[in-house]
Structure 1
């Protein structure tokens, strides 16, 4: 994986996280999920992003 590919994947991951958070926020506002559920899902998403970023960082060819 080149640095350019990693950048593209990073942008894609950031957009996906933004979409997930906006969706969760909407679900919370209409009462489908509680604040606690929102927090747990948000923390899980953040941990997954850190793991994905670490994997991508190791795959960059220097």
Structure 2
């Protein structure tokens, strides 16, 4: 993986996370999920993103 590919994937991941958070916020505002559920899902998404970022960083070839 090159640095350009990593940058592309990072931007894609950021947009996906933004979409997930906006969707969760909408679900919370309409009363489908509670504040606690929102927090748990948001933390889970953040942990997955950190793991993916660490994996991508190891795959970059100098």
TM more than 0.5? yes
TM-score w.r.t. length of structure 1 = 1.00
Matches of 1:20 and 1:42 in 2, distance apart? 9
- C-alpha root-mean-square deviation of aligned residues, in Å? 0.1
Q: Which residue of 2 aligns with 1:44?
A: 44
Aligned-residue offset at 1:25 = 0.0
TM-score w.r.t. length of structure 2 = 1.00
Aligned-residue offset at 1:53 = 0.1
How many residues align? The count is 62
Matches of 2:5 and 2:45 in 1, distance apart? 22
Q: Which residue of 2 aligns with 1:16?
A: 16
Unmatched segments (≥5 aa) in structure 2: none
Give runs of ≥4 in structure 1 deviating > 6 Å: none
Unmatched segments (≥5 aa) in structure 1: none
